[in-house]
Amino acid sequence: MAQSNLYSRVLGTGSYLPPNRVTNQDLADRLAKQGIETSDEWIVARTGIHARHFADPDVTTSDLALIAAQRAIESADIDPQTIDLIVVATSTPDFVFPSVACLLQDKLQIKNGGAAFDIQAVCSGFAYAVATVDALIRSGQHRTALIVGAETFSRILDFNDRTTCVLFGDGAGAVILQASDEPGVVASALHADGSYTNILCTPGHVNGGIVAGSAFLHMDGQAVFKLAVNVLEKVALEALEKANMSPDQVDWLIPHQANIRIMSHTCRKLGLPQERMIVTVGEHGNTSAASIPLALDFAVRDGRIKRGQNVLIEGVGGGFTWGASVIRY
Ligand code: UT7
């Protein structure tokens, strides 16, 4: 039975970036060998990205998720055996199945039979996971949840396509959410419009034991840009309205880290000073479902985000999907 005074609260955060840091110049040199021109100047001016991290070939999404999860568990100071729900937001899972969440449960040696599943909402995956897990905790069905956004997008990048391969990176971010009589996640809003499949997709699929179709990420950047700026402002305001809050009560905005131009636009539209936005896109690139929890963990650990502050997270991505949550940290 749902209890009206039951909330889910962030107990701890963690994140992990694989050590291989690839600068724009590194990428420009690599592409030049294939006769493709790009530059640090173009990438910085159009996206705000200076570098991204790529996982080594034998490292999987669940490997990145494991380290982020261990760090979140440590910061929450809980016994991992009390985690009764694991949700991993990813579009680059280790396998077709089982889910990364199940692999992670095993890697963490959690033996309590709790639930584990993946959420596939691309760059909105973490926002989708927070809203879903919050509902499962508020209903009383689960008490202590591990949410991870983890990606190895480098695996689906076409390094012959300069319009996409310079944008994305690998990484993982995690949070522990636990039932509490204090908020917590205050309100969330989620949306999707499946008619936009073609502007952002990785259409390859397994058929007859082989990958049929392109397994590379395809994006119409300008179409995505236009849609993103439109829906991000709306969904942020929707979540704030549900939380009975106005934008000036937001201490920190954590947008999905895709492009500094999109992020700054939303921040301006909400009337927030740019200093109240957490920005990691410059060093992480776009890590899809991992970008928000990575940024959250960085800002918690460097002391910017403090207990009691209001954090607005928002994401947009393939599907098309978009979502936002207001979280009292
Ligand atoms: O995470 C999911 C959500 N994803 C996003 O939010 C991404 C949204 N889109 C974007 O961030 C931007 O549209 C991009 C960063 C992808 C592109 O920026 P843009 O300002 O929209 O550039 P554009 O696509 O209009 O391209 C401008 C020019 C083109 O050349 P011409 O046609 O003007 O001669 C491109 O061919 O820049 C060229 N170009 C490049 N030049 C150097 C495209 N990619 C590159 C590159 N290096 N890597």
Query: Which pLDDT tens digit goes with each residue over 144-181?
Result: 999 999 999 999 999 999 999 999 999 999 999 999 99
Query: What tens digit of pLDDT does each residue of 36-52 get?
Result: 999 999 999 999 999 99
- Is 230 a pocket residue for ligand 1 (Cβ < 6 Å)? no
Block residue for tokens 């207001």: 326
Query: What tens digit of pLDDT does each residue of 255-284 get?
Result: 999 999 999 999 999 999 999 999 999 999
Are 178 and 77 a contacting pair, CB within 8 Å? no
**Distance from the CA of 163 to the center of ligand 1, in angstroms?**
6
Task: Output the average pLDDT for the chain.
Answer: 97
The pLDDT value recorded for residue 313 is 98
The pLDDT value recorded for residue 232 is 97
Going by pLDDT thresholds of 50, 70 and 90, the confidence category of residue 113 is very high
The pLDDT value recorded for residue 319 is 96
- Is 292 a pocket residue for ligand 1 (Cβ < 6 Å)? no
Instruction: In whole angstroms, give the CA distance from residue 98 to residue 79.
Output: 25
Q: Which residues of 1-24 are buried (b: 16+ CB within 10 A; e: fewer)?
A: eeeeebbbbbbbbbbbbbeeebeb
CA distances from 136 to 63, 86, 132, 155 (A): 26, 11, 6, 32
φ/ψ (deg, to 5) at 318: -55, 150
Start-to-end Cα distance in the chain: 25
Query: Among this protein's residues, is 310 annotated catalytic?
Result: no
Query: Among this protein's residues, is 123 annotated catalytic?
Result: yes
Q: Measured in whole angstroms, how far is the alpha carbon of residue 267 from the centre of its chain?
A: 18
Query: What tens digit of pLDDT does each residue of 55-109 get?
Result: 999 999 999 999 999 999 999 999 999 999 999 999 999 999 999 999 999 999 9
Active-site position among 165, 256, 259, 267: 256
**Residue 299: burial class (beta carbons within 10 Å; 0-12, 13-18, 19+):** buried
Minimum CA distance residue for ligand 1 atom 30: 163
- Is 258 a pocket residue for ligand 1 (Cβ < 6 Å)? yes
**Distance from the CA of 46 to the center of ligand 1, in angstroms?**
7
Residue from 311, 14, 3 nearest 180 by CA:
3
**Distance from the CA of 260 to the center of ligand 1, in angstroms?**
13
Report, as an integer, the average pLDDT of 289-316. 98
Residue from 127, 128, 145 nearest 136 by CA:
145
| Helical H segments across the chain, by residue range | 24-33, 40-47, 61-76, 100-107, 125-138, 162-165, 221-242, 260-269, 281-284, 291-301
The pLDDT value recorded for residue 1 is 44
The pLDDT value recorded for residue 69 is 99
Report, as an integer, the average pLDDT of 293-304. 98
- Is 125 a pocket residue for ligand 1 (Cβ < 6 Å)? no
Instruction: In whole angstroms, give the CA distance from residue 149 to residue 199.
Output: 23
Report, as an integer, the average pLDDT of 301-313. 98
- Is 317 a pocket residue for ligand 1 (Cβ < 6 Å)? yes
Maximum distance among all Cα pairs of the chain, rounded to whole angstroms:
62
The pLDDT value recorded for residue 3 is 54
Are 270 and 247 a contacting pair, CB within 8 Å? yes
Report, as an integer, the average pLDDT of 283-303. 98
Query: Among this protein's residues, is 286 annotated catalytic?
Result: yes
* Percent of the chain clearing pLDDT 90 (strictly above): 98
Q: Can you state the percent helix, strand and coil of the chain, rounding each to 5? A: 40, 25, 35
Domains recognised in the chain with CATH numbers: 7-181 (3.40.47.10), 186-328 (3.40.47.10)
pTM over the 0.75 mark? yes
Q: Measured in whole angstroms, how far is the alpha carbon of residue 186 from the centre of its chain?
A: 19
pLDDT beyond 80 at 4? no
**Distance from the CA of 223 to the center of ligand 1, in angstroms?**
10
**Distance from the CA of 263 to the center of ligand 1, in angstroms?**
16
- Is 38 a pocket residue for ligand 1 (Cβ < 6 Å)? yes
Give the full edge-to-edge strand order of the sheet including 115-119: 7-16, 170-180, 144-152, 85-89, 115-119
pLDDT beyond 70 at 206? yes
Q: Measured in whole angstroms, how far is the alpha carbon of residue 225 from the centre of its chain?
A: 18
Instruction: In whole angstroms, give the CA distance from residue 80 to residue 255.
Output: 29
